[in-house]
């Protein structure tokens, strides 16, 4: 049941529970954050002055659970029109949008409204603002405190688990996802989350069962079929995956995620021309400038797979220009950084990296600090790798030291992993294989680090570990720039090695 209630310290405000069912009920609860003393009945509060805004907020959360992020953003924006002081609506827009200016502005508004909301909501704002701003450690501390206050809120457990999953923190994400399912065994989105987690964690149950359960619980929603398609793709069943994406699009032709997945699947299959056709439609259908910027670069990646680097340059420069025109500055910088990753000429590569850094420096006041730090870290890693490729280990030391400083400044897990990957790369170049292992093992989802780690395992006699990781990398089907640059080459090397045995 949904509860609206006023409190002695929040006069005339409406507070609704975060985990809502159907219907509306009003109650008064002086100064408490829950309508019951039973911890299992406690759910996260949401403060607003408008019943209609509350409804928009809740429908937005349901859309978010169903991966309908464009609909979620639309509903939360409607909520703040009705209640311009709706702190959590600003917070969730900030956390979901791919527009850097919108993210920065709404994060600032949420922080400015801290005094108007309950202590629990303040923790949520500090979590989200912290991990996207320059207070990452405070953000994580607030997240943990928030979970401790509401351990039985299924949605809260799922939301934190989903964020942890996106940080490649699979074990804690699994724990919270299972906790959400313990509260509600029919909580559909948690089965989706569990399927993705099982697909990422070695020696865990097959993702098929939770993926199938997700489809069973929401048979008429497109995202369950999209997710089932991804499980099929990860297993190498490309045609079956394509059929699931098309089924999702048949249910809802506007479900742009599945249109993008068609492009990714064809690209992994090596059918790059068809992939570009699908990506072109995904770019057209994308509901925001940020997604269009992302999909333009996915299209450009198809030329890297074909080793058509001049065409890749044209596509990335086009993507950078369009990102600049629409204020997608991190994507603009990223295009230049990626060009530096495959560029054969060292001088040209350095110019691209300098341009990427200049873009980030110019926009530091309007882009989230976490986004700036993470892209800056990736640029520094490319500088390290370019120096090592030129057999100039001394030139790698300066960007590596800068990257280490950034990683030790309280930055995100992604920055820390980028540092470990770069450090491991240098240690491999120095033939310090045993020392490299502990660093490369931290960069768990980067195929370039995984490739180096196979070498380190073999050089130090960890043959079994090398064999397991080699198979994982050969079977890797998560499309990224690093995957496109590392995995096909690794497969060829392993095939050649097998012929020699």
Using CA atoms, how far apart are residues 124 and 314, in angstroms rounded to an integer?
Answer: 43
Q: How confident is the model at residue 16 (pLDDT cuts 50, 70, 90)?
A: low
Q: For position 2, what pLDDT does the model report?
A: 29
Q: How confident is the model at residue 3 (pLDDT cuts 50, 70, 90)?
A: very low
Q: For position 38, what pLDDT does the model report?
A: 55
Task: List, in sequence order, every residue forming a beta bridge with 47; answer none if it has no partner.
Answer: 15
Judge whether 345 lies within some domain.
no
pLDDT tens profile 117-131:
999 999 999 999 889
pTM of the model: 0.89
Judge whether 84 lies within some domain.
yes
159-185 core/surface letters (b: 16 or more CB in 10 A; e: else)? bbbbbbbeeeebeebbebbebbbebee
198-231 core/surface letters (b: 16 or more CB in 10 A; e: else)? bbbeeeeeebeebbebbbebbeebbbbbbbbbbb
Q: For position 411, what pLDDT does the model report?
A: 85
With 90 as the cut, is the pLDDT of residue 42 above it? Answer: no
482-501 core/surface letters (b: 16 or more CB in 10 A; e: else)? bbbbbbeebeeeeeeeeeee
pLDDT tens profile 214-240:
999 999 999 999 999 999 999 999 999
3-state secondary structure 88-124: HHHHHHHHHCCCHHHHHHHHHHHHHCHHHCCHHHHHH
Average pLDDT, stretch 200-211? Answer: 85
Judge whether 192 lies within some domain.
no
CA nearest neighbour of 424 among 416, 339, 202: 416
Q: How confident is the model at residue 29 (pLDDT cuts 50, 70, 90)?
A: very low
Contact assessment for residue 2 and residue 20, using Cβ atoms and an 8 Å cutoff: yes
With 60 as the cut, is the pLDDT of residue 35 above it? Answer: no
Structure tokens at 212: 């199938």
Average pLDDT, stretch 23-43? Answer: 40
Average pLDDT, stretch 278-298? Answer: 97
Q: Where are the alpha helices (DSSP H) in 287-368?
A: 289-305, 309-325, 329-342, 346-362
Q: For position 104, what pLDDT does the model report?
A: 87
Q: For position 27, what pLDDT does the model report?
A: 25
Contact assessment for residue 193 and residue 177, using Cβ atoms and an 8 Å cutoff: yes
- Across all residues in the chain, what is the average pLDDT? 90
Judge whether 417 lies within some domain.
no
Contact assessment for residue 5 and residue 47, using Cβ atoms and an 8 Å cutoff: no
Q: DSSP letters along 234-254, please?
A: HTT-HHHHHHHHHHHHHH-TT
Judge whether 393 lies within some domain.
no
Average pLDDT, stretch 50-56? Answer: 96
Least confident of 34-38, 59-63, 252-256, 351-355: 34-38
Structure tokens at 393: 């280990």
Q: How confident is the model at residue 8 (pLDDT cuts 50, 70, 90)?
A: very low
Instruction: Look at 288 and 39; give whichever has higher pLDDT.
Output: 288
Least confident of 268-282, 359-373, 469-483: 359-373
Average pLDDT, stretch 139-160? Answer: 95
Q: How many domains does the chain have?
A: 1
Judge whether 91 lies within some domain.
yes
With 90 as the cut, is the pLDDT of residue 487 above it? Answer: yes
DSSP single-letter state for residue 78: H
Using CA atoms, how far apart are residues 259 and 268, in angstroms rounded to an integer?
Answer: 15
Report how far apart the first and last C-alpha atoms of the chain are (Å, whole number): 66
Average pLDDT, stretch 378-396? Answer: 96
CATH number, domain of 63, equals 1.25.40.10
Average pLDDT, stretch 18-27? Answer: 34
CA nearest neighbour of 124 among 138, 369, 73, 371: 138
With 60 as the cut, is the pLDDT of residue 9 above it? Answer: no
With 80 as the cut, is the pLDDT of residue 501 above it? Answer: no
Q: How confident is the model at residue 30 (pLDDT cuts 50, 70, 90)?
A: very low
Judge whether 122 lies within some domain.
yes
pLDDT tens profile 398-417:
999 999 999 998 888 999 99
Q: For position 41, what pLDDT does the model report?
A: 55
Contact assessment for residue 426 and residue 434, using Cβ atoms and an 8 Å cutoff: no
Judge whether 37 lies within some domain.
yes
Using CA atoms, how far apart are residues 411 and 263, in angstroms rounded to an integer?
Answer: 33
Q: Is residue 243 packed enough to be buried (19+ CB in 10 Å), middle (13-18) or exposed (0-12)?
A: middle
Using CA atoms, how far apart are residues 360 and 378, in angstroms rounded to an integer?
Answer: 12
Structural domain that includes position 20: 3-150
Average pLDDT, stretch 456-462? Answer: 97
Q: For position 17, what pLDDT does the model report?
A: 54
């Amino acid at each position: 049941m949904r509860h609206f209630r006023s409190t002695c310290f929040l006069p005339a405000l409406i507070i609704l529970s975060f985990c809502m069912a159907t219907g509306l009920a009003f109650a008064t609860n002086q100064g408490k954050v829950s309508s019951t003393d039973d911890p299992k009945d406690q759910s996260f509060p949401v403060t607003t002055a408008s019943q209609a805004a509350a409804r928009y907020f809740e429908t937005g959360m349901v859309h978010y659970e169903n991966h309908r992020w464009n609909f979620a953003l639309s509903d939360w924006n409607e909520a703040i029109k009705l209640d311009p002081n709706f702190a959590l609506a600003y917070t969730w827009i900030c956390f979901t949008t791919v527009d850097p200016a919108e993210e920065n502005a709404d994060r600032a508004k949420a922080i400015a409204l801290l005094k108007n909301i309950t202590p629990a909501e303040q923790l949520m704002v500090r979590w989200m603002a912290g991990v996207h701003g320059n207070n990452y450690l405070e953000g994580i501390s607030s997240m943990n405190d928030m979970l401790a206050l509401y351990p039985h809120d299924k949605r809260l457990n799922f939301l934190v688990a989903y964020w942890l999953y996106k940080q490649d923190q699979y074990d804690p994400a699994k724990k919270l996802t299972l906790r959400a399912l313990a509260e509600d065994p029919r909580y559909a989105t948690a089965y989706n989350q569990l399927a993705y987690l099982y697909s990422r964690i070695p020696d865990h149950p097959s993702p098929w069962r939770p993926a199938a359960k997700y489809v069973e619980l929401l048979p008429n929603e497109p995202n369950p079929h999209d997710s089932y398609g991804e499980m099929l793709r990860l297993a190498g069943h490309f045609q079956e995956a394509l059929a699931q994406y098309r089924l999702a699009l048949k249910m809802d032709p506007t479900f742009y995620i599945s249109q993008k997945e068609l492009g990714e699947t064809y690209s992994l299959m090596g059918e790059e021309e068809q992939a570009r056709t699908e990506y072109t439609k995904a770019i057209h259908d994308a509901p925001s400038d940020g997604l269009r910027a992302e999909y333009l670069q996915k299209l450009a990646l198809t030329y890297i797979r074909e080793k058509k680097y001049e065409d890749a340059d044209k596509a990335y420069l086009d993507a950078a220009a369009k990102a600049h025109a629409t204020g997608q500055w991190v994507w603009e910088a990223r295009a230049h950084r990626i060009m530096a990753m495959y560029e054969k000429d060292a001088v040209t590569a350095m110019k691209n990296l300098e341009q990427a850094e200049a873009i980030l420096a110019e926009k530091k006041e309007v882009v989230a600090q976490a986004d700036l730090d993470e892209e800056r870290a990736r640029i520094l890693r490319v500088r390290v790798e370019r120096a090592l490729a030129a057999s100039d280990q001394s030139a790698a030391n300066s960007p590596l030291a800068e990257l280490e400083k950034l990683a030790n400044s309280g930055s995100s897990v992604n920055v820390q992993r980028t540092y470990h990957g770069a450090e491991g790369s240098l240690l491999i170049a120095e033939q310090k294989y045993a020392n490299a292992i502990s660093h490369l093992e931290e960069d768990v989802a980067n195929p370039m680090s995984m490739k180096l780690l196979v070498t380190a395992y073999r050089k130090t006699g960890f043959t079994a570990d090398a064999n397991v990781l080699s198979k994982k990398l050969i079977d890797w089907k998560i499309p990224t720039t690093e995957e496109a640059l590392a995995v096909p080459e690794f497969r060829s090397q392993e095939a050649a090695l097998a012929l020699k045995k």
